[in-house]
Amino acid sequence: MAEDLAYQSLHAIGDLLRKREISARELVDFHLARADSLQPRLNAFITMMHEEARRTADELDRKAARGESRGPLHGIPLTLKDLISTKGVRTTSGSKVFADFVPEEDAVVTKRLREAGAVFLGKTNLHELAYGISNVNPHYGAVRNPWDDERISGGSSGGSAASLAAGIGYGSVGTDTGGSIRIPSALCGTVGLKPTYGLVSREGVTPLAWSLDHVGPMARTVEDVAILLDVLAEPTAGAEIGSASEGLEDLPKGLRMGIHADYFGENLDPEVREAVGGAVRDLEKLGLERLDVSIPEVRYQGTCRDVVLYVEAAAYYEASLRKTPEGFSESARELLQLGSLIRGTEYLTAQRARRRVLQAFREAFDRFDVLVTPTVPVTAPRIGEETLSNGEELRPALLRLVTPFNTVGFPALSLPCGYTEAGLPVGLQLAARPYKEALLLKVAHAYEQSHGWLVQRPLLGGALE
């Protein structure tokens, strides 16, 4: 029964709450106990919010008893990546520098979730400053993958993905500057969406690179991600996409999927290649027409994106680095110092090159509806592993297939498309034109429903006994 409750979908648990077959307090107590039990093993949280969560749940139960509802997330336990501001609760950004920072206001996304009735269990662990992809944090410890706790969760939203994979909470909110929602979603076997740039507010979220940062929903199912997106989307931008969760079953006919083999298909682990190839064939069976495509400019996006990231991150942290350099790890200091050495002319040149890449993507996406790729070329590496099974170094390997969509700001989603012989999840990435989230989610939902990936769960052993 406990496992069934842990792995219910957000949609299903919402129905139970509305029918008052379970109370918000019962749900919160269950998930807090589960989080506490698994924390020594997974290290998915930096700060738990026990008292606030129970207080909020009790208030929501009193409202429910009066026939009142706060909104579509009434009583739903969620988590937040610990660089999203929470009023009165510390927000560390995974850094020693901000270890004692307690915001006076909620981030906009925090407010929206509260207004919709969400209950926050805690703040999830992340890569230091969200500036990395392993989620091995020198200050708060590594987040471990629930499928194999000797492996990384991926980052920088690793605590969010790991907790979801372990059945803690029914959704989370992460950030994505170069893959930080999609990488951990792929490695932990969950679903994560990087929306169109600007669709979800970044106000009150610690920045890394202003022109690359995205905030987005994470959950265990595509439908749950869609429900969260409806709450999170900016009202003006949200009007362009409509409701993401309504009509999810209505997959349009005549869709074309782009397959970009000469970049997104290069140097893949054999088991990843096999799983993604199978997913492409399955999408064809669902009615999508395959179109082989090439966007030559994609090979230049990584360089211009890196320059933009290095400079913008260095600009934001310049004062903190000068004042308290000892508060940053050696790797974070090196990255920030690198950004300070890049000239303004180089930054502007990178931004000009970025516009050319954007134009190339716009023209290419006029030919097809969804681009289908692996999310990352390998499955979860072991903690401390620097050279991966495909021969690449850790950082460039995990970034290679996801960063293009930060460079151009297009929406991109990762969802499971299979498991290796060792039981590790493989991620499938789908991308679409700006503000086509509803279409993207319909394709992802149709694929997800055609498979049994949702019933597979990590073997958490005696941690809950």
Full DSSP string of 309-326:
HHHHHHHHHHHHHHH-GG
Q: Which residues contact 186 (CB under 8 A, 6 or more apart)?
A: 154, 375, 376, 414, 425, 426, 427, 429
- Whether the Cβ atoms of residue 194 and residue 214 lie closer than 8 Å to each other: yes
Residue 382 DSSP code: B
Residue 429 DSSP code: E
Specify the amino acid at residue 389: S
For residue 175, which of 78, 109, 242, 241 has the smallest C-alpha distance? Answer: 109
Identify the pLDDT of residue 79: 99
Question: In 3-state terms, what secondary structure has residue 124?
Answer: strand
Question: In 3-state terms, what secondary structure has residue 19?
Answer: coil
**pLDDT (tens digit per residue) in 351-401:** 999 999 999 999 999 999 999 999 999 999 999 999 998 999 999 999 999
The Cα 6–Cα 198 span in angstroms is: 32
- In this structure, the number of other CB atoms found within 10 A of the CB of residue 462 comes to 7
For 136-150, give the DSSP string. Answer: EETTTEEPEETTEEE
- Give the active site residue among 23, 93, 156, 329: 156
Identify the pLDDT of residue 459: 83
The Cα 81–Cα 158 span in angstroms is: 9
Pairing, β 214-219 against β 191-194: antiparallel
The DSSP bridge partners found for residue 191 are 219
Where do runs of H (alpha helix) occur along 286-384? Answer: 298-323, 330-341, 344-365
The Cα 367–Cα 291 span in angstroms is: 9
- Whether the Cβ atoms of residue 352 and residue 299 lie closer than 8 Å to each other: no
Identify the pLDDT of residue 462: 43
- Is residue 70 classed exposed, middle or buried when 0-12, 13-18 and 19+ CB atoms within 10 A define those classes? middle
Verify whether residue 389 is a known catalytic residue: no
The Cα 284–Cα 112 span in angstroms is: 38
Identify the pLDDT of residue 168: 98
Identify the pLDDT of residue 449: 96
Residue 89 DSSP code: B
Verify whether residue 19 is a known catalytic residue: no
Pairing, β 45-48 against β 148-152: unpaired
Identify the pLDDT of residue 455: 80
Verify whether residue 180 is a known catalytic residue: yes
Q: Residue 219 belongs to what H/E stretch? A: strand 214-219
- Give the active site residue among 23, 95, 172, 180: 180
The Cα 442–Cα 226 span in angstroms is: 9
Q: Which residue has the tokens 């679409």?
A: 432
CATH of domain 2-464: 3.90.1300.10
Instruction: Report residue 64 CA to chain centroid gap.
Output: 31
Instruction: Report residue 138 CA to chain centroid gap.
Output: 21
Q: Which residues of the chain have pLDDT under 70?
A: 1-2, 237-239, 461-465
The Cα 402–Cα 84 span in angstroms is: 22
Whether the full predicted model's pTM is greater than 0.95, yes or no, is: yes
Residues 332, 334, 337, 338, Cα dihedral to 10°: -110
Query: What are the residue ranges spanned by the domains of the chain?
Result: 2-464
Q: Which residue has the tokens 């496992």?
A: 3
